[in-house]
Amino acid sequence: MARIATERQGDILVILTDSPPVNALGADVRQGLAAALTEAEPDASVRAVVLACKGKTFFAGADIAEFGKPMADPILPVLADKIEATEKPVIAAIHGTALGGGFEIALACHYRVAALSAKLGMPEVKLGICPGAGGTQRLPRIAGTALALEMIAKGEPISAAKAKEAGIVDRLAEGDLVAAAVAFAREVADLRPLPRASSLAAPQDIAPFQAFRERNPRLFTGAEAPVAIVDLLEKTAPLAYAEGAELENKVFVELLLGEQSRALRHAFFAERKAARIDDMAGDTVERSIRRVGMIGAGTMGGGISMNFLSAGIPVTIVEMAQDALDRGVATVRKNYEATAAKGRMSAEQVERAMGQLSPSLSLDDLADCDLIIEAVYESMDIKKELFAKLDRIAKPGAILASNTSFLDINDMAAATNRREDVVGLHFFSPANVMKLLEVVRGTWTADDVLATAMALARKIGKVPVVSGVCHGFIANRMLMPRQDEAVKLLMEGAMPHQIDKVHVDFGMPMGPFQMADLAGLDIGWHRDPARIESLRDALAAEGRWGQKRSAGWYDYDEKRAPTPSPRVGMLISVFRAQNGAAQRAITAQEIIEGTLYPVVNEGARILEEGMAQRASDIDVVWIYGFGWPAWRGGPMFWADTVGLSNIVASLERNGFEVSQLLRAKAAAGESFN
Ligand code: 3HC
């Protein structure tokens, strides 16, 4: 429950909001703020007002949980106008993250004082909406159209220092923020006229909207909000404030009521829900992880290590041969240096991260690690042998983890005398970039091990999802039917580039064949060129292993740009002839139904078997693991929008065995989310 306290510091009134966890601007907060301002207005002994928040952050935005429900008065734009219209200076004291509606409240204040560590931004676009409390009109007037366009259309926050530079923040504060804001309030208490953003002239730097669209093509493929936002800013740039605000409100409401915003809000809450483990005691105490051991310095091992190094956790990395170890360490350095070259890291940060990395050729050096992750070759025999060795080397209480993407964690655990300490940590490639982490809960995995893995994942900036033990876990298991069905469609007349294009048009970053080329067609291949049982075998046997060989389902040029391959076309013809299936023109709708409905079916089976805790976890896996467009909410949310009975009917028509759960839900008219 929100608490809005007022506190007098001499002639300055501090209105202090305390509404955990993030001071979202729900009805009670809005009402409390309005009441406190109404009280302060006529009080002659109050010369200025400071708006501040308790807890970890200034207002982090409107209360997203209220969206789609009737809004109690005062609504946010009305509250913002009330603040701005106050006849005494109102100063925002910003710490943490002033986001969305929170940032808009700050912009409606006459002045802004921010803690050095604060961040300010308008992430509404990520929820499929535009700012709705005057932000699209006040920000360009204060900071110029170019910066406003960047911030509102992309949704990335900026630092307090950058905000100061742009004229958004009037003063940066070190130390006690409220005291600094009160001191600032005294300085400006008598200054008139009050600086009101809405009274500023329309911005003169009419930014190159078209250039922005051209510079950021990915932003505009499929998602409605970025398109609407840029159009709105362009249209309102020459207008008076009131007219612009009216248009903003219209666009805000339209977007809010749309399917995409509903999907994106689902994704927002799904991500947070995924971190919760339903059957775990609330008082489970996490183990402390001070040093991580990494076995394998290949692409995966190096990438995984970087996550910990970047978070300031030392890593001991072990390889079998010196040259492989050197290569691995050099790659980590190269990746960091590339980040530094882009200005996203300082040279000092690179050295600090590298300084935390201890290369070794001996597993014995892992004895002091609190968590050991193996990323060695995907062979159960090798892994079992390794776990048995780790059992002898690791200190008591150390967590032993495998980065396997398919194999049974329980078998590895059984090779130790501490099977409760074993867990799967399945990172996605490139491991230092992709945000998904599948945390695989084995039969014996202890609660505190699981809790530690989930907390650690968040610490290193990952989005963790718990999976049970099954072949391919949630992510790769669901990918398999998509790939199989895509290949079947080739037999009926589709071509790889046609199928991939349908997936890209759907909003995926790439299609199934592009993805197979990226992952490598040799992965999981039996390696016998004489044994050709599938089209994939035929490609692999010819050395068409994907991008790394410049040839796979596509041909690649030296810049890794793909073109449809005549050779693959020929092999497809050979297989079609053997297969005997009738050839026909395949439509985009058939490709969607043929390749994505089986994914939903597999997701339903995963739920049925209890391998995922909830349907929304599966959505999170696809959004963060495979780049499923968040504005479609993930495959299970999308299935709800398609209609489960439509999906069942299509699966039946195409001869699939339909998941019991999917069938039952469809029959009952239910949805997954
Ligand atoms: N509304 C409702 N609940 C919110 C919320 C919001 N704006 N922001 C966060 N929460 C909830 C989360 O759901 C979570 O709840 P849970 O504990 O029950 O799962 C809890 O607050 C903590 O959130 P996080 O786990 O995300 O905490 P972090 O410390 O990792 O991150 C944050 C904090 C950076 C503030 C992050 O929560 C965030 O980005 N929030 C969303 C900010 C946002 O999008 N604001 C714009 C809202 S739209 C708007 O303002 C419209 C306006 O223009 C009219």
- Number of alpha carbons in the 13 Å side-chain half-sphere of residue 548: 10
Domain with 91, as residue range(s), is 3-257
E strands in 357-469? 357-360, 371-374, 399-402, 422-427, 436-440, 463-467
Residue 265 lies in a domain: no
399 and 522 in one domain?
no
556 and 451 in one domain?
no
As given in the structure block, the two tokens for residue 34 are: 């309005």
The Cα 651–Cα 45 span in angstroms is 72
Residue 561 lies in a domain: yes
DSSP state of 66: G
> Residue with the nearest Cα to atom 10 of ligand 1?
22
Q: Which of 416, 439, 472 is the last residue of a domain?
A: 472
Beta bridge partners of 374: 295, 402
Residue 85 lies in a domain: yes
Give distance in angstroms: CA of 100 to centre of ligand 1: 10
- The enclosing H or E element of 16 equals strand 12-18
Catalytic annotation, residues: 104, 124
- Look at residue 402 in the predicted model and tell me its pLDDT: 98
460 and 501 in one domain?
no
Residue 660 lies in a domain: no
- Look at residue 292 in the predicted model and tell me its pLDDT: 98
Residue 24 lies in a domain: yes
Give distance in angstroms: CA of 22 to centre of ligand 1: 6
Low-confidence ranges of the chain (pLDDT < 50): none
569 and 425 in one domain?
no
414 and 510 in one domain?
no
252 and 148 in one domain?
yes
| Residue position matching structure tokens 């690791």 | 394
As given in the structure block, the two tokens for residue 571 are: 């092999």
> Residue with the nearest Cα to atom 15 of ligand 1?
272
Q: What is the pLDDT of residues 365-395, one digit of tens each?
A: 999 999 999 999 989 999 999 999 999 999 9
Ligand 1 contacts CB of residue 407 (under 6 A): no
512 and 467 in one domain?
no
319 and 240 in one domain?
no
161-194 burial string, b = 16+ CB within 10 Å, else e? ebbbebebbbbbbeeebbebbbbbbeebeeeeeb
As given in the structure block, the two tokens for residue 591 are: 């490709």
- Look at residue 281 in the predicted model and tell me its pLDDT: 84
Ligand 1 contacts CB of residue 157 (under 6 A): no
- Look at residue 624 in the predicted model and tell me its pLDDT: 97
- Look at residue 655 in the predicted model and tell me its pLDDT: 94
Ligand 1 contacts CB of residue 124 (under 6 A): yes
Residue 324 lies in a domain: yes
Ligand 1 contacts CB of residue 128 (under 6 A): no
- The enclosing H or E element of 113 equals strand 111-115
Kindly tell me the burial class for residue 150, based on how many C-beta atoms sit within 10 Å of its own C-beta (0-12, 13-18, 19 or more): middle
193 and 328 in one domain?
no
- Look at residue 218 in the predicted model and tell me its pLDDT: 87
Give distance in angstroms: CA of 61 to centre of ligand 1: 7
Taking CA atoms, 37 is separated from 12, 83, 170, in Å, by 12, 8, 22
89 and 227 in one domain?
yes
Which pTM was predicted?
0.95
Ligand 1 contacts CB of residue 648 (under 6 A): no
Q: Which of 214, 231, 257 is the last residue of a domain?
A: 257
Give distance in angstroms: CA of 261 to centre of ligand 1: 15
Residue 604 lies in a domain: no
> Residue with the nearest Cα to atom 54 of ligand 1?
132
CA-closest candidate to residue 515, choices 595, 593, 579, 583: 595
Q: Which atom of ligand 1 is nearest to the CA of 273?
A: 19
Ligand 1 contacts CB of residue 40 (under 6 A): no
Give distance in angstroms: CA of 21 to centre of ligand 1: 8
The Cα 361–Cα 370 span in angstroms is 19
- Look at residue 328 in the predicted model and tell me its pLDDT: 97
> Residue with the nearest Cα to atom 33 of ligand 1?
22
* Whether 93 contacts 51, CB under 8 Å: yes
| Residue position matching structure tokens 């250039």 | 211
Radius of gyration of the chain (CA): 28
The Cα 171–Cα 238 span in angstroms is 29
The Cα 539–Cα 649 span in angstroms is 34
Ligand 1 contacts CB of residue 77 (under 6 A): no
CA-closest candidate to residue 630, choices 189, 135, 263: 263
Task: Determine the straight-line distance between the first and last CA of the chain, rounded to whole angstroms.
Answer: 27
CA 456 to chain centre: 16
436 and 370 in one domain?
yes
541 and 457 in one domain?
no
What is the tally of structural domains in the chain? 3
- Look at residue 173 in the predicted model and tell me its pLDDT: 97
Q: Which atom of ligand 1 is nearest to the CA of 133?
A: 54
Q: What is the 3-state secondary structure (H, E, C) of 600-632?
A: HHHHHHHHHCCCECCHHHHHHHHHHHHCCCHHH
As given in the structure block, the two tokens for residue 624 are: 């963060």
What residues contact 373, with CB distance under 8 A and at least 6 apart?
292, 293, 294, 295, 304, 401, 402, 403, 425
Q: Which of 579, 598, 625 is the last residue of a domain?
A: 579
Ligand 1 contacts CB of residue 448 (under 6 A): no
Ligand 1 contacts CB of residue 22 (under 6 A): yes
Tell me the CATH number at 214.
3.90.226.10
CB atoms within 10 A of CB 607: 22
Probe target for ligand 1 pocket from 17, 19, 22, 269, with the most ligand atoms within 8 Å of CB? 22
- Look at residue 206 in the predicted model and tell me its pLDDT: 65
Residue 165 lies in a domain: yes
Tell me the CATH number at 564.
1.10.1040.50
Give distance in angstroms: CA of 635 to centre of ligand 1: 23
